[in-house]
A and B are shown apart, each in its own frame.
Chain A
Amino acid sequence: MTASAPVIDIRDVSRTYGEGPPALADVTLSVRAGEALAVLGPSGSGKSTLLNLIAGLDRPSTGSVMVDGLHVDELGEAASAKYRRAKIGMVFQFFNLLDDLTVTDNVLLPAQLAGMPRAEARTRAGDLLESLGIDRHARAYPGRLSGGERQRVAVARALMNRPALLLADEPTGALDTASGEDVRELLAELNADGQTIVLVTHDLGLAESCATRTIELVDGRIVRDVATLTVNR
């Protein structure tokens, strides 16, 4: 276990916006392959900022961010886009599906951007939708689906290119209890299959049920870092 190189290696990272106090301050964090890391913390504590830095959507003010051996903080715009295509799958609180594309077309997007052969992409999308239990909505538009179903579509889209890392920002934040439970189970299963996950949440239950490790941010600093021992495991 200790021998495997970390998937995420964050060193002394700070991120300041303008004059205000830092959104992240001196964060050092390393995540190994197969881990499911839950990031807890009050609103404004820097959780989304941390996720954006890992995804290459934002750059640290100081410090370095390495993902899968890549200096994410040093990538240019195009390189960081290619990096996301290849290594990252993202799931958001408000799904961020494109309303004018069907479910299948939404799921296909990352593969199309990466230039995956058509047939292969179609097969993969079909498999994903089926395994996530939403294949009957394949030709529907996202507006027709329930919140839970939409989030499943988002997860399918995130997994399309078999990312090394799945990033989820409040994936259950916009869902009711039952749908939330749905997504919680899905993430736990994915992690059990070996998917590395970083999960930002307010939801202690979510953290406990599907994370192998939990950190807590307050005012941009890691104040707690514990292994979560779940009964299921």
Chain B
Amino acid sequence: MSALGRVVRAGVGRRRVQTAVMILTTLMAVTASVLAAGLLVASQAPFDHAFAQQHGAHLTGQFDGTKVTAPQLAATAHASGVTAAAGPFRTLSLRPRTTSGSDPLPAGADLPPMTVVGRASAGGPVDDTVLVDGTWATRPGQIVLAYGGLPLRPGAQLTFPDLPGSPTLTVVGVARSVTDTAEAWVAPAQAEALTAQGSTATYEMLYRFRHAGTDAQVAADRAAITAALPRGAMTGSQSYLTVKLQAVANTMAFVPFVAAFGVLGLLLSVLIIGIVVSGAVGAATRRIGILKSLGFTPAQVVRAYVAQALIPAAIGCVLGVVCGDLLAVPVLGDAGSAYGAGSLTVPLWVDVAVPAAALALVACAALAPALRAGRLRTVEAITVGRTPGAGRGRLVRRLTGRLPVPRAVSLGLANPFAHPARSATMAAAVAFGAVTVTFGVGLALTLGAVQSGRMLNSAGSVVVATGGGQQGPPGAQVVHVGGEPDAPKADPAEVTAALRTQKGTRGFYGTTQAQVSASGVTGATTVVAYQGDSSWGAPEMVSGAWLTGPGQAVVSTRFLRAAGIQVGDTVTLTERGRHVSVRIVGEAFFTVGEGMELLTPTSTLAALGLDSQPSRFNVETEPGTDLAGYLASLNASLDPTGAVAFANTSGTSDLIATMDALVGMLTLMLVAVAGLGVLNTVVLDTRDRVHDLGVLKALGMTPRHTVAMVLTSVAAIGLLAGAAGVPIGVALHAHVTPLMGDAAGITLPPSAISVYHLPDLALLALGGLVIALAGALLPAGWAARTGTATALRTE
């Protein structure tokens, strides 16, 4: 064993480049694989765990009390497929106002509407909520807040100024519901009392089903319930899968592309380790013969060569696990804290299973050439010289010799044909590099498109703010959570007039926002209301069309999924007893506000009795307008109105920045490994040809010609493999990006998926050439510097 150990050590130590390449390639592959698997597993765990522990509701249904009675609802617990149910609970949509000041919320702040549920106890067969703080509300005057909502603690007080007599409730507890079934809870009698005057009763039911693994199963279960009730009784519902999607979406969006990098990395590792070990065997034919003549068994030889690959691969695996775990920290972030799971890490079994799988792959890759070494006949190994198979590629040499190019170039051109297998592996390494670069560049372009499309207010180069903020009822003092009261608004009519007369204005539209309840969606929905011709500033449409008239709305894929509706369906918006139905005319791409905002004309807000005056104008200037001059002039004319114009700068997303950094890093690593694969092959080739190089130099070949010859020998491979890799990279990108969108619950617009243009593709195809040349440059230099006299002595 010690003899074997020494042989292995000598082999590994002697080939520093190859050892480094093997460590790097496994490092890269394991990093990406651990990260992908870790994110996939770790991000699901907290929700799944909390859902199981709290018997989370598979479906939360909202019902219209004018169409269905409480006993009818209670009977749905026996609908087919239902295994447990809770409710019916009274629900109310109420606008609270703080009465006691606390750190983030000053006293007297008007807050967006919240869904309050009347429920007798924290526990139950479904949605067994966890009290995080205080106690449950059992008596009138008490309220329990949902964890993660209002930043208030037990003892704080809320009043409800919209209700007769402005009742005041005291916060007695904070509870966590895994599927967000309410934003606050009160005792049933209290809910009853708050509903009393005139307004219609609404109810909530919570269900668990026998089969609820997929969207289709949940939809079927939902259908069974609605079938048992009068038409239109169910006004909305929320599947736990939607809640889970929103909980894990940001993390899950990483999985498809990181996994793609992981697979690319593993394949590249197998390839490179195969190249390295077969190269080592090829170069050491004589050595193997000597070892065998000294009494090494074939099995020992095989083991020695497999070990030679496994030792650096194991080092790469360990480093890869560390890197993968570290990279997972910023990506997973505090995804777990919402469920009290603390900060998330990659599970231990992933840290063990992934490198074990990688090592097994590496061992297989090394085994094939190692077995060849084991089978090598001793006599042959000793007697056959170092350059077997010199007869190959002669015809090509003869043909290229006739080409009207410098001899160094024609010699280089013929080179790949002398070792077809070696050239093929080099081509594969370059192709991998080209695939990776194409894929990585595509991802960056997609993320860039998502970045620019995700905001709603990035249209136009100028923004005019009237000074108003989030909208409350007319005349109400409006407070941002954590902010100061806003200054009174400028008159939008005056702003509009100023914009019209301002030279250089090409177009503008106004927007304002309000928070109302929307059917099918729990909690408050932010409505962004548009006034004027907004077609030029519309978000990118995925399907349907942009707003063209009153009664219309546009939402994102996430909203459609959350509400369980499609384009063409209607959504009912409710604000203090007033209902307005809007028809969804289009599905747009944007992610601001978690993609849950509803876009509609300002007339919708007016119909709900809300302030519909624009608080912000997005302005497009004529092409060639000097922005600074425009702003100065516009601000001068806006000065009396109190509105301010400024340049439109939209913020960047942390999530996209993290993705961009990760894509860049993984691309660089893979390309570096591909380049090292080329380097390694050229090193082997140069070592084989050192004697011929000596002869050529003795005949007067200059170092520059030597470098040119070596570079030519890889250039053709680089070009071909690069050209072959680009379409594969494009296909991979076309496959992976929609998956990223799906994982994040959004539909990417075509512009974010078809990101490649012909000139880019041509450049990317040249990327293969660059990788090949970069990889060959170093060994070409070595070849040029090899001492001629020394080279000639090795006969």
By a beta-carbon cutoff of 8 Å, the part of chain A in contact with chain B is 48, 52, 55, 57-58, 77-78, 81-86, 88, 90, 92, 94, 96-102, 105, 109-110, 112-115, 141, 143, 157, 161
Contact = CB atoms under 8 A, between A and B. Distances in A.
Contact of A110 (B406, B700, B704): B700
Given A55-B698, A81-B703, A110-B700, A105 B789 contact: no
Contacts of B407: 109, 112-113
A112 B391 CA distance: 23
A47 B784 CA distance: 25
Given A82-B702, A92-B792, A157-B699, 10 more contacts: A78-B704, A81-B697, A82-B700, A96-B694, A98-B695, A101-B397, A102-B398, A113-B408, A113-B696, A141-B391
Nearest to B691: A96
Interface string B698-738: 11111111000000000000000000000000000000000
B4 interface: no
A100 B410 CA distance: 13
Contacts of A110: 699-700
A83 B697 CA distance: 11
A94 B700 contact: no
B390 A81 contact: no
Contacts of A48: 789
Interface in B388-403: 390-394, 397-398, 401
B390 A109 contact: no
B466 to A, nearest CB: 74
22 contacts: A48-B789, A52-B789, A55-B698, A57-B697, A58-B787, A77-B784, A77-B785, A81-B697, A81-B702, A84-B700, A98-B692, A99-B390, A100-B390, A100-B393, A100-B397, A105-B401, A109-B696, A109-B699, A112-B406, A113-B407, A113-B699, A113-B701
B235 interface: no
Interface residues of B, number: 34
Interface in B373-394: 387, 390-394
B787 to A, nearest CB: 8
Contacts of A84: 698-700
B700 A141 contact: no
Contacts of B785: 77
Interface of B: 387, 390-394, 397-398, 401, 406-408, 418, 691-692, 694-705, 784-785, 787-789, 792, 795
B700 A81 contact: yes
Contact of B700 (A97, A99, A114): A114
Contacts of A85: 699-700
Nearest to A51: B789
Nearest to B795: A94
Contacts of B792: 57, 92, 96
Nearest to B390: A99
Contacts of B398: 102, 105
Given A85-B700, A109-B696, A100 B418 contact: yes
Q: Interface of chain B, helix or strand or loop or mixed? A: helix
B698 to A, nearest CB: 5
Nearest to B414: A100
Contacts of A157: 699
Contact of B394 (A88, A114, A115, A141): A141
B453 to A, nearest CB: 56
Nearest to A56: B788
A161 B700 CA distance: 11
B384 to A, nearest CB: 14
A93 B542 CA distance: 77
Contacts of A55: 698
A33 B524 CA distance: 103
B573 to A, nearest CB: 80
Give the top 3 A-B pairs by smallest Cβ distance, nearest first.
A85-B700, A112-B407, A81-B702
A157 B695 CA distance: 11
Contacts of A114: 700
B789 A57 contact: yes
A101 B402 CA distance: 12
A52 B703 CA distance: 17
B698 A57 contact: yes
A55 B792 CA distance: 13
A141 to B, nearest CB: 7
Nearest to B785: A77
A152 to B, nearest CB: 17
B782 to A, nearest CB: 13
A222 B778 CA distance: 42
B795 to A, nearest CB: 5
A165 B712 CA distance: 32
Nearest to A157: B699
B491 to A, nearest CB: 80
B789 A58 contact: yes
A109 B693 CA distance: 13
Given A57-B789, A90-B698, A113 B705 contact: yes
A52 B696 CA distance: 15
Contact of A57 (B692, B704, B705, B788): B788
A5 B296 CA distance: 63
Contacts of A78: 702-704
A125 to B, nearest CB: 12
Nearest to B387: A99
Nearest to A99: B390
Contacts of B695: 96-98
Identify which of B698, B700, B702, B785 gathers the most chain A CB atoms within 10 Å of its CB. Answer: B700
Contacts of A105: 397-398, 401
A81 B406 CA distance: 16
B789 A81 contact: no
A222 B787 CA distance: 26
A55 B696 CA distance: 13
Contacts of A94: 795
A143 B697 CA distance: 21
B401 A101 contact: yes
A78 to B, nearest CB: 4
Contacts of B702: 77-78, 81-82
Contacts of A102: 398
For A58, A78, A94, the residue with the greatest tally of chain B CB atoms inside 10 Å of its CB is A78
Contacts of B700: 81-86, 88, 110, 113-114, 161
Contacts of B406: 112, 115
A83 to B, nearest CB: 8
B791 to A, nearest CB: 9
Nearest to A114: B700
Greatest chain A CB density within 10 A among B390, B701, B703, B784 is at B701
Contact of A81 (B394, B692, B701): B701
Nearest to A167: B698
Nearest to B410: A112
Contacts of B397: 100-101, 105
A110 B392 CA distance: 23
A90 B694 CA distance: 12
A94 B691 CA distance: 12
A48 B698 CA distance: 14
Contacts of B699: 84-85, 90, 109-110, 113, 157
